[in-house]
A and B are shown apart, each in its own frame.
Chain A
Amino acid sequence: METATVTNGASIELEPAVDIPSSCNHYYLNMGPQHPSTHGVLRVLLEMDGEYVVEAQPVLGYGHRMHEKMAEHKTWMAFMPNTGRMDYAAALPYNHGYVSLFERLCGIEVPARAEYIRVITSELNRIVSHHLWLGAFLLDLGAFTPILYTFDDREQVLDILEDVTGSRLTYCYYRVGGVCKDIDDKFVERTRAFIKRQRERFKVYNELVTGNIIFLKRVEGVGIITPEMARRYGVTGPVLRGSGIAYDIRKAEPYSVYDKFDFEIPVGKTGDSLDRYLVRLEEMEQSLRIIEQALDQLPEGPYLGKVPKKLKLPTGDSSFAVEAARGELTYYLVSGGGDIPYRLKIRVPSYSNLSVLPELGKGLLIADLVAAMGSLDLVIPEIDR
């Protein structure tokens, strides 16, 4: 073990880099916890050989809040707002998985309308998350303008969601048995208007970004994740699909009413940053398709089913996986009866997606590392939980 002293005086032990002769002049670079392209309080300790990364070691936990412990100290309903505070960019899928877990465990029926509302809002949230990623990713590549374009679009959705959920970022909208507020005609109308607008905006994105030669040169062949590597690390979501594996929980284990919609799983070919970019853009289009179909099929009826006032959990364990914006989110609950979970394990997608970085980063230029990290779409509070 060698000890690297970093500029802020802290020190951390690193795994020795095995394949690099010790005669080389390496130095350590402390990227983060405050760095423009780590998007939050992630710290990556880099062992550098000139501009090349020899070893990239993420250091986590700067935003750690111990949500899993909180879950063991609150009633399951009181923990509900916490679920919206892990992935700040796409909180509704987190809500979705959590309430569905209890519905599954207690066998609660959800009215069809509520399921449709959940799907519509979840997909809107996914688009919002991809907006945020798109802007931030291009910012990492040094393009300052697209982020304001995507934030402009993002505002439209946030306004729609704010009207119905009451918040703009950390949602707590779903309830066991349904949702807490019904959507109205205005919501439907605005969502349809947004779909139309967003389709137009894809052209703007493509003209501004996708065809740009500098952009292509920066992302093509950079940070390749092979399907085999993805399997070993448990990579999921758009990152996995960029590697060419068509795995989407919405299709693989259809929850809610996702089996009623016709949508495709976009996949990449080589698993480089460009593929991940293209997959996410296409995913936004597919989300629009889902929303469109859901709005067309939207049934009438109650938006909240009949739920016992005090929900007593049966003993035993149950698992629920949903496709969050960044990949597979799994809640694994162990209950010993009562209304406080005995143990709630939250498997967050970014955690496994980021764990590829030490292998992915080896031998990359620092600029490529930034591009590759940007294309992983990391949300740090989600990783730290």
Chain B
Amino acid sequence: MPPELLRMIITAVLVVAFVFLNAMILGYMERKVSAHIQRRPGLMEVGPHGVLQLIVDGLKLIGKQLVVPEGASPFLFRLAPLLSFVPCVLPFVVIPFSRKLQAVSMDVSLIYILAMTSINVIAILVAGWASNNKYSLFGTFRSVAQAVSYEIPMLLSLLSVILITSTFSLKGIIEAQKYYWFILIQPVAFIIYFISGLAETNRAPFDMPEAESELTAGFHTEYSGMGFSFFFLAEYANMFTVCSIATILFLGGWKGIPLPLGDYTGIVWFLLKVYGLLFVMIWVRWTYPRVRFDQLMTFCWKYLIPFSLANLLITAVVVKII
């Protein structure tokens, strides 16, 4: 077996394993954090402090039947969860967890990640369309409009960092933060990116596509079993991707105070930062009410985009002068 092929297989297995592990960690974290925010113990039954609950939940979901509703398009209905899941796995290939731990080093890794995460919209579109359910369709309308809109401020805010580093390579961006993190010189870009990230991953208070009290469960209303869990995995994988980009671009990636862990120091710092941001995402979700859909769009087009454009312009001018 050629070493390159072996390397690919190992990467694929590790990445998929990490996606599942991440979903379990995040699922547990979300339920525990929300429980403590709501002053209740949360998971307690399976394993110590319920740590094994997510494994049991996973088995339950695997054991369930995927019911294809009457009138739905069976092929598209089954395709959508996979379409959602696969692109969410791919960004992990290029994410530099530490100086040495990166499966593929690409010069355009940032563009690659952004391209991959955008495919998720198509999956939601297919899921909502194929379900033959009006609530799903509703969720789809919202989701597509929302994802397309929020991609703009997201990209613009990232661009202002790229202007400084002049590279799309994630490693290059981290190396550029030798003396300070970019959050210090680009705080506006960070905030805009993080808000857009919340919207991109359909997290509350921007969880329009799955707004429970309005649309029951939005685009995945009709999904059960593994169909549902793929969307669930994809959402958590997406959250991880969004937060890791934030970490890489604004928080210095794997950089941090040296720990007595040798080569593992970088990965520990990286994961700490990413899960720290994820904690904030969960915290926001369990604290705020949901915004209304038109307010969501107004917020994007009237505030986020002008601010990110202004930020980009100022950055460009400053970079040119320096």
Contacts and interface: CB of A to CB of B under 8 A. Distances in A.
When A and B assemble into the complex, do they touch directly, with CB atoms less than 8 Å apart? yes
Interface of A: 7, 27, 29-30, 35-37, 51, 138-145, 148-149, 152, 208-209, 212, 214-215, 217-218, 365-368, 370
Nearest to B298: A217
A142 B296 CA distance: 14
Contact of A142 (B40, B133, B134, B213): B213
A370 B289 contact: no
A217 B295 contact: yes
A214 B289 CA distance: 6
B289 A29 contact: no
Contacts of A148: 38-40
B279 interface: no
A178 B38 CA distance: 40
B216 interface: yes
A37 B289 contact: no
Interface string B49-86: 00000000000000000000000000000000000000
Nearest to B292: A367
A214 B205 contact: yes
B3 to A, nearest CB: 50
A145 B36 CA distance: 10
A368 B292 contact: yes
A6 to B, nearest CB: 9
A144 B291 CA distance: 13
A217 B291 CA distance: 8
Interface residues of B, number: 29
A213 to B, nearest CB: 9
Contacts of B40: 148
B296 to A, nearest CB: 10
Contact of B291 (A138, A139, A218): A218
B290 interface: yes
B29 to A, nearest CB: 16
Contacts of B295: 217
B93 interface: no
A144 B292 contact: no
Interface string B270-291: 0000000000000001111111
A145 B213 contact: no
A45 to B, nearest CB: 12
Given A152-B39, A367-B214, A145 B287 contact: yes
A152 B35 CA distance: 13
Contact of B286 (A141, A145, A212): A145
